[in-house]
Structure 1
Amino acid sequence: MQPDPLSVLISRMDFALISSVHILFPPLTIGLAIILFSFELAWFRTNDERWYRLCRFFEKLFIVNFGAGVATGVTMEMAFGILYGPFSQAAGPFFGQVLGYETITAFMYEAGFIGLMIFGWGKISRKMHLFATFNVALSSTLSAMWILVANSWMQTPTGIEFKDGMFHVTDWLAALFNPNVFAAFPHMLLAAVELSLCFVVAVCAWFVFKRREVQLFIRPLRYSLVALAVVAAGQIYLGDLLGENVLEHKPAALAAMEGQYDTYDADGNANTAWNVIGWPNKEGTGLAWSIKIPHALSLIETKTWNGAVEGLNTFPEDERPPVVLPFYSFRIMVAIGGAILAVALWGGWLSYRRQLCASYAPLQRRFLMVCIAMVSLPYIAVIAGWWTREIGRQPWIVYGMMRVEDGMSNLSVGLASFWFAGFAIFECAVIAGTIWYLLKVCRNGPDLTSPVAGDGEETLGELDLPEGPHAKRPEYIRPV
């Protein structure tokens, strides 16, 4: 028996909320773990105490974000069983195995080393602690890989057959290494690094803007801006590769993303214009209005002047994804990527002109305010990209094999509403609590007085910090 249409709508909104909230936290966990390793490696190689202080400070922010990611991740696992019971049962032979691999080879692996990373300062050697931090970064990346393997399989299911209401794996290698994962995983991994660099830039810019510990935060600000310029440019390239993958394997999704309805125009020529903005007509057969760039769609997708890109009208009406949400979420993501690259290049130009040194950086108040405000952009871009990906797969939960309504639990409207309200309250509480704790850590600032952790014991390190309320701090941590 098919579930009630209203119940389906509520449940889909519920899972959209849950997945959209959860996707906010893992990217920062992945990227910040890599950055923490780079900070600690710099301390290990140079013995410069400033890298140690930065590592300990950003580790606190990492812990807060990691906890939120775990909480919302467990909630999403619950939601699969509650809202998508038939899909969970049917896809269990593959989907459940992959999530099990993620738990064993990534989550449990990460949990062990994250304990060493957090509580091992001064109790294990510096080399062993660096090894623990490296493994936290590696396990976080592995976790993302397994999740993208599972999700990419839903986008391009290979190596399975759907028989008697169950997905049976016929070729594990083909299922794991499905066509979409090779483009989607690098794109998501680089998105995590990009988001984390924006986060570090925003935090460092805030301290410089407030003239707090400028000498400590100015160096990671400069380095992160340079890295951000490289990563943002690379992300544009990987996004283009992912678009080509979607064109090949999910042409209906690509057509929805681009607002492409007709493959050919009235004269029989390939319709190759790229719609910058537009809006579908009431009949759903084309755009009522749009601003176009001739030949741009062919150049982007086929790398030719007049290459044909399949339009939505060539697909059965009941197999076409929605247009408005993927169309505009895709453009929001692209616009944000360009904006982040522009800010990073701006920072590179200021560094080249020596305007981001400790003496002059606090005077670049407009630039610093832009950097602080920019922290929200990659989060919006990640959600927009996730919406583009998931809504573009509609009406399928497993592309071309199982429709969404066939994979949903048969809940009553009241029960679906109950779960929606409960999950919404929990997700909002997690977001509010995370923001509050992150801001609290930033307000408190880095610990500049505790002893520097040595090899297996707490030592003062090479720089003996004076104690007492009237002690004079080293020059490099004195506010400008």
Structure 2
Amino acid sequence: MLDAWLDTVTLSRLQFALTAIFHMLWPVLTTGMGIYLVIVEALWLKTRNITYYHHARFWTKLYLLNFGIGVATGLPMAFQFGLNWAPFSEAVGDLFGTLLGFEGTMAFMLEASFLGIMVFGWERVPPLVHFVATICVAIGANLSTFWILSANSWLQTPAGGMFTNGKFIVQDYFQAIGNPFTLNSFLHMFLATLETALFVIGGISAWYLLKKRDTEFFSRSFKLVLVALIAVAPLQIFLGHLSAEQVYHYQPTKLAAMEALWETVPAHTPADWSILALPSNKLEKNTWELKVPGVLSYLLELKSTLDAPIQGLKEWSPNDRPKMVGMVYYSFRIMIAIGTFFAALMGLTVWRWWRGKLAPELINENKWLLLSWLFAGPLGYIAVECGWIVRCVGRQPWIVYGELRTVESASDLPPGVILFSLSGLMLMYAIFFVMTLYFGKKIIQKGPDLTLPVPRMVVPSDSAQHIPDQRPAETGQF
């Protein structure tokens, strides 16, 4: 059994999975929180309410912490393409390397270049310039998401060229960048990062409210999050549905694994939807299953004619379909369950707000509701990780779907070398994780500094003056 885990391909896959799963924890928060920082700073510029300024300063600390860890954990991922996956890089590097290069030079550098102004420029640049810097940071973070999703989507639905003698020849870069999966994948991930960040901010705010610390301050952030989620949570479910439809059309083996569907459902026959099951790769069936008759066809919008079959896993040989069916099946359901829970929690909280129960003097009475938000805080990370498991494990055995197999793409390295680097990365990431929890805890325990003065309006240097902002802060509630 141990020998099966000590072959080169398995260890290389395990190492890449470790680096990807761990790295993803940090940019998931920064890409979404960047948009939140733009919102609160815009509200400060518009209203001159100092509370919004204090929100921008407080949440920026968590942004900066996650940005730093994200950079440190992302570097090993890039090196792996040349070290552990050299045949893959040689085969598709002309396109794949270009897309990742765009992410580094166009997106990451934009974010990193303006980050210093966003963090340290409050007293050094005019407020409008600082606001533009915050916008550039948010754009850079989300532009990174676009380029990474474009590259990964190309692995799912390769387009824009053809393989010749084992090497991908690019014929149309725009077609490759805008491959069939790119748009929906980017929008789905964009909303996933935003929803995760909103629930993290809401969960942290709920913790302060439960502790009865800075109640007015964090009831405001709680309500800001809630307003944004009214649009984000339902839209995310809709985009997830569109992504599943695309899987049906472009990756039928992945869909069969997502639904643990072993036998093909013929045309004109409604397909049952499996709620829970115990898939067995060895027996090629589900040893136990709870399902709802006929629902899967409706979910895939085949209800109008039911003239299209839904292919089961047995349509392909074992070497041409995903092997970890149970992992794909349950990752998909966990993601759906968390998204549904988020939408329900948002709806319930809006209802409590509408009834006037979220006023600062009453919000602490909603202990069960605040505990639910505290519980929901980390769930977005789990949903995002599960979504990527479905996306990448469900693509197997292909690294480029239908064109290039994973087993053909790994470098021929001694297993001991990979095991050594894997162990080193595990130790390093464990240290990073503990450090992040430590410093994050210190930031949260300390809380916002509500004594920070409003930054002065900076005038051109030739006047040698600093004019303070004399507009009074508003005291009204959000």
TM category, shorter = over 0.9
Helix, strand or coil at the partner of 1:106: helix
Helix, strand or coil at the partner of 2:399: strand
Helix, strand or coil at the partner of 1:260: coil
- Residue pairs, 1:207-286, within 5 angstroms: 207-264=208-265, 270=269, 272-281=271-280, 283-286=282-285
Structure 2 Cα separation of the partners of residues 125 and 68 of structure 1: 29
Conserved 8 A contact 2:157-2:181: yes
Structure 1 counterpart of 2:290, one-letter code:
I
Structure 1 Cα separation of the partners of residues 309 and 235 of structure 2: 27
Residue of structure 1 equivalent to 2:461? none
Residue of structure 2 equivalent to 1:27? 28
Residue of structure 1 equivalent to 2:295? 296
- The TM-score, its normalising length taken from structure 2, stands at 0.93
Cα displacement string for residues 40-97 of structure 1 (whole angstroms, at most 9, x for unaligned residues)? 0000000000000011000001000111111111121122222212112222100111
Structure 2 counterpart of 1:351, one-letter code:
W
Deviates more, 1:270-279 or 1:41-50: 270-279
Cα offset, 1:450, TM superposition:
2.5
Structure 2 Cα separation of the partners of residues 461 and 14 of structure 1: 56
Structure 2 Cα separation of the partners of residues 5 and 116 of structure 1: 48
Conserved 8 A contact 1:336-1:377: yes
Q: Is 1:167 aligned to 2:168, yes or no?
A: yes
| Compared CA separation, residues 475 and 443, structure 1 to 2 (3 A) | farther
Conserved 8 A contact 1:148-1:185: yes
Residue of structure 2 equivalent to 1:148? 149
Structure 1 counterpart of 2:63, one-letter code:
F
Structure 1 counterpart of 2:173, one-letter code:
W
Conserved 8 A contact 1:257-1:330: yes
Residue of structure 2 equivalent to 1:429? 431
Structure 2 Cα separation of the partners of residues 454 and 310 of structure 1: 65
Residue of structure 2 equivalent to 1:89? 90
Structure 2 counterpart of 1:147, one-letter code:
I
Cα displacement string for residues 183-220 of structure 1 (whole angstroms, at most 9, x for unaligned residues)? 11100000011001101101111111111111111112
Residue of structure 2 equivalent to 1:41? 42
Q: Is 1:334 aligned to 2:341, yes or no?
A: no
Residue of structure 2 equivalent to 1:377? 379
Cα displacement string for residues 255-302 of structure 1 (whole angstroms, at most 9, x for unaligned residues)? 10011111237xx86360011111124644221221111111100113
Cα offset, 1:462, TM superposition:
4.3
Residue of structure 1 equivalent to 2:417? 415
Structure 1 Cα separation of the partners of residues 475 and 456 of structure 2: 22
Q: Is there any run of 5+ residues in structure 1 with no aligned partner, and where?
A: 465-473
Cα offset, 1:164, TM superposition:
2.7
Cα offset, 1:412, TM superposition:
1.0
CA RMSD of superposed structures (Å): 2.0
| Compared CA separation, residues 15 and 452, structure 1 to 2 (3 A) | same
Helix, strand or coil at the partner of 2:7: helix
Conserved 8 A contact 1:451-1:461: no
Structure 2 counterpart of 1:124, one-letter code:
V
Cα displacement string for residues 355-410 of structure 1 (whole angstroms, at most 9, x for unaligned residues)? 11110111211211111121111010010001000001000111111111111111
Structure 2 Cα separation of the partners of residues 264 and 131 of structure 1: 54
Conserved 8 A contact 1:263-1:270: no
Structure 2 Cα separation of the partners of residues 282 and 51 of structure 1: 54
Structure 1 counterpart of 2:201, one-letter code:
V
- Residue pairs, 1:339-378, within 5 angstroms: 339-378=341-380
Structure 1 counterpart of 2:284, one-letter code:
T
Cα displacement string for residues 209-252 of structure 1 (whole angstroms, at most 9, x for unaligned residues)? 11111111111201212322321111110001001111111111
Helix, strand or coil at the partner of 1:411: coil
| Compared CA separation, residues 270 and 218, structure 1 to 2 (3 A) | same
- The TM-score, its normalising length taken from structure 1, stands at 0.93
| Compared CA separation, residues 154 and 223, structure 1 to 2 (3 A) | same
Helix, strand or coil at the partner of 2:271: coil
Residue of structure 2 equivalent to 1:189? 190
Helix, strand or coil at the partner of 1:199: helix
Conserved 8 A contact 1:298-1:308: no
Structure 2 Cα separation of the partners of residues 458 and 431 of structure 1: 43
Q: 1:438 aligns with which of 440, 453, 458?
A: 440
Deviates more, 1:385-394 or 1:285-294: 285-294
Cα displacement string for residues 324-345 of structure 1 (whole angstroms, at most 9, x for unaligned residues)? 1110000000000111111111
Give the share of equivalent positions with the same residue, in percent: 37
The size of the alignment, in residue pairs, is 464
Structure 1 Cα separation of the partners of residues 383 and 140 of structure 2: 24
Residue of structure 1 equivalent to 2:105? 104
Cα displacement string for residues 109-158 of structure 1 (whole angstroms, at most 9, x for unaligned residues)? 11111111111101111111111111111111111100001000001111
Conserved 8 A contact 1:262-1:271: no
Structure 2 Cα separation of the partners of residues 82 and 283 of structure 1: 34
Cα offset, 1:461, TM superposition:
5.2
Deviates more, 1:300-309 or 1:5-14: 300-309
Q: Is 1:124 aligned to 2:125, yes or no?
A: yes
